Structure 1
Amino acid sequence: MHPTAHIAAIGTAVPDHDIHQAFIGWARTRLPDERAARVFDRMAGRAAIGHRWSVLPRGADGGSPVDPGGFYARDLLPGTAERMRLYAEAAPVLSIAAIEALRAQVALDGITHFVVASCTGFVAPGIDQIIAAQIGLAPSVERLLVGFMGCYAAVAALRSARHIVRSDPHARVLVLCVELSTLHLQDNPALEPLLAMLQFGDGAAAALVTAEPVGLALGQPFATTLPDSAGLIRWDITDRGFAMHLSGEVPARIAAGLADPAFAAAATGGRDPSEIDGWAVHAGGRSILDAVESALHLQQGVLAASRGVLADFGNMSSATLMFVLARLLGGPPIHDGVALAFGPGLAAEGFGFRSAA
């Protein structure tokens, strides 16, 4: 019998610089005509995002990164090298803040494995090594870096932790997701990419996964892919940062996929949606949450944790799902839950979970 892996607790952290309204104002000035601006205003107003937080420093007069003296206050936006230098500095700081928030809930002694997910930066030695050294993990700790998987990378990271604990009941796995999406603002005058960029913020979340029966028990993982959808969600590495392509077709394609019983079964691990009492859906955007809710005929309010995270933080890529799970950990007991995230592919990945007995 394999032991059951559990998420004992989750610690989260965001920077203290709210850039949401400033970035909206900056993006609006990039639109070529008033008609596009009116559409932009309507869509931005419907995004259901109140705040997005950034590691980018304030400008010379305390303004946002797009104000005079800010990181993006120039005719030609910073190159990839400059953005990666800031990633190498800021990602460990934000990560350690999340780890300390986790440490305030559970003891982090005896860590045997360290799994890190991030798709918004590259550095070598990796941030897993940098963070491990800074928090004093033993050199013998086994590390795994999950890179460039996008929004469902939290599933891959927690799935890997589950496999580790099932193979070694004494393992104590520290799982970290850290994303600095605001490092990749693009000066693109097209409506769709501007709206896509205004979904994303920075955040980090850390979890402890062990065989100890506390927190959330991790069940069977699952994964599937929508056919002919590879181009709908894409990251392109350019000389001016990572250019995010998030097609406006994504919500409709997810809804159409979930309307297919076979895809819906694959995307929920074979569970009947009416019997699921805990939903942790990646808060990729209001329209994506609406599509999941409508296609699976979910009762209004069951995605409250996801919508709350979206409103307070925006889409933090891989860290987002962990923020949602953190909210569910603090709520009523869950007997049969589903964690579900969408990302490049267009793939749907997730796992079942329940409150520990």
Structure 2
Amino acid sequence: MTTDFAYLNAIGTAVPPHDVHDAFITWANRRVEERARPLFARMAARAGIAHRWSVLPGVDGASAVDPGGFYAAAMPGTAARMAVYAREAPELALAAVAALQERVGLDGITHLVVASCTGFVAPGIDQIVAARLGLPADVERLLVGFMGCYAAIVALRSARHIVRSDPAARVLVVTVELSSLHLQDDTAVEPLLAMLQFGDGAAAALVTADARGMALGQPFAANLPDSADLIRWAITDTGFAMHLDGAVPGRIGTALGEPAFVATITGGTTPADLFWAVHAGGRSILDAVQSALSLPADALAASRAVLADNGNMSSATLMFVLARLLADPPQARAGVALAFGPGLAAEGLALRFAT
């Protein structure tokens, strides 16, 4: 037996307790060349971010970049960073699952899909989470690794495929990212502004055939031509170095200016008639999407709120946006989930509220 429908029933979210955004700005401002400080300050103020959270504590209430903190003396090696990931990523993921359990029962989980791109550990996060939750040994697991900001779409799409092929399936989807483990020893404005975007967070969701929440509709995927080098990660001896090119928003805007591409992601519906769950990759990216699609002023309010409160949490970010939309449904009943990431690739899903 199969079904045509899979539903995102509920989402729980979690962030760690340490707000590092202001401390990072102070740290970065000391490092950037003096003549570039006005530019950095201006761009930081325009970022649309008020808070970013980290699993890394400081000493006596200070941050990880202050004396005694993780980054105080020198940039730690990748092994030290991965040791923190192995310890802290499962804890944050389980906090998100606990938040989900406040909204929906998690009995009878048959599948576990986990997305993460900010660390590696084996046994994997999927196995650790499954064991800590006491899931049965025969639960089917899928780990979506190193796909970056659009990995939430890939995880939800996978859950959709599972439920549509087996209506009795109950799929737990988890996204967890510890981006703050990858601070780099840079002094140039562009990489510092890229690092200024990222924070830690986790989300957990239940996907089933029960008509509750949002129906997960037709997925879509596309690589934007001539853009492969615009977003990329490099694994270095001192963590994962993110490259986020300043040309990304313009390239996204160009793609969304192409009628055929817009028709692919909207199914031919006028964009302004849909609700939008857009990955909050940065203010300039949200501005590019809003401008290119001629969306109303408040169309991306949920994405901008997540950016302000949390920054870019890579794969977890879109889940936070969807959680806000579930909690405060927009007037439109049909919508689109859209995320951009390494490649430069776009991934998404059609959405529709169940009631």
Report what 2:21 is aligned to: 20
- Normalised by the size of structure 2, how large is the TM-score? 0.98
Report what 2:103 is aligned to: 105
Report what 1:141 is aligned to: 139
Q: Quote the offset at 1:110 in angstroms.
A: 0.3
| Mapping for residues 163-312 of structure 1, pairs under 5 Å | 163-276=161-274, 278-312=275-309
Letter in 1 for 2:316: A
SS of match in other structure, 1:83: helix
How many Å separate the matches in 2 of 1:80 and 1:115? 26
How many Å separate the matches in 1 of 2:268 and 2:197? 30
Q: Check the 8 A contact 2:58/2:65 in 1, yes or no.
A: no
Q: Quick check: 1:313 aligned with 2:304? A: no
Q: Check the 8 A contact 2:265/2:350 in 1, yes or no.
A: no
- Out of 67, 88, 91, which is 1:90 matched to? 88
Q: CA, structure 1 residues 29+252, in 2 after alignment: closer, same or farther (shift >3 Å)?
A: same
Q: Quote the offset at 1:260 in angstroms.
A: 1.4
| Mapping for residues 58-97 of structure 1, pairs under 5 Å | 58-59=58-59, 61-74=60-73, 76-97=74-95
**What per-residue deviation string (whole Å, max 9, x for no partner) do you get for residues 20-54 of structure 1?**
000111111111232x1110000000001000000
Q: Quote the offset at 1:264 in angstroms.
A: 2.3
How many Å separate the matches in 2 of 1:314 and 1:270? 31
Q: Check the 8 A contact 2:175/2:204 in 1, yes or no.
A: yes
Report what 1:32 is aligned to: 33
Letter in 2 for 1:304: A
Q: Check the 8 A contact 2:153/2:347 in 1, yes or no.
A: yes
- Out of 117, 121, 130, which is 1:119 matched to? 117
Letter in 2 for 1:162: R
SS of match in other structure, 1:259: coil
How many Å separate the matches in 2 of 1:272 and 1:350? 17
Letter in 1 for 2:52: R
Q: Check the 8 A contact 1:115/1:174 in 2, yes or no.
A: yes
Q: Check the 8 A contact 1:220/1:269 in 2, yes or no.
A: no
> For structure 1, which segment, 134-143 or 266-275, has the greater mean C-alpha deviation from structure 2 after superposition?
266-275
Report what 2:45 is aligned to: 45
**What per-residue deviation string (whole Å, max 9, x for no partner) do you get for residues 220-253 of structure 1?**
0001111010000000000000000000110011
Q: Quote the offset at 1:270 in angstroms.
A: 4.2
Q: Check the 8 A contact 1:224/1:266 in 2, yes or no.
A: no
Q: Check the 8 A contact 1:224/1:267 in 2, yes or no.
A: no
Report what 1:161 is aligned to: 159
How many Å separate the matches in 2 of 1:219 and 1:246? 30
How many Å separate the matches in 1 of 2:194 and 2:92? 24
Gaps of 5+ in 1: none
Root-mean-square deviation (CA), in Å? 1.0
Q: Quote the offset at 1:127 in angstroms.
A: 0.7
Q: Check the 8 A contact 1:235/1:243 in 2, yes or no.
A: yes
How many Å separate the matches in 1 of 2:62 and 2:295? 42
How many Å separate the matches in 1 of 2:22 and 2:6? 41
Give the count of matched residue pairs: 353
How many Å separate the matches in 2 of 1:15 and 1:70? 16
| Mapping for residues 330-349 of structure 1, pairs under 5 Å | 330-332=327-329, 334-349=332-347
Q: Quote the offset at 1:101 in angstroms.
A: 0.3
How many Å separate the matches in 1 of 2:111 and 2:268? 30
Sequence identity (%): 70
How many Å separate the matches in 2 of 1:336 and 1:43? 35
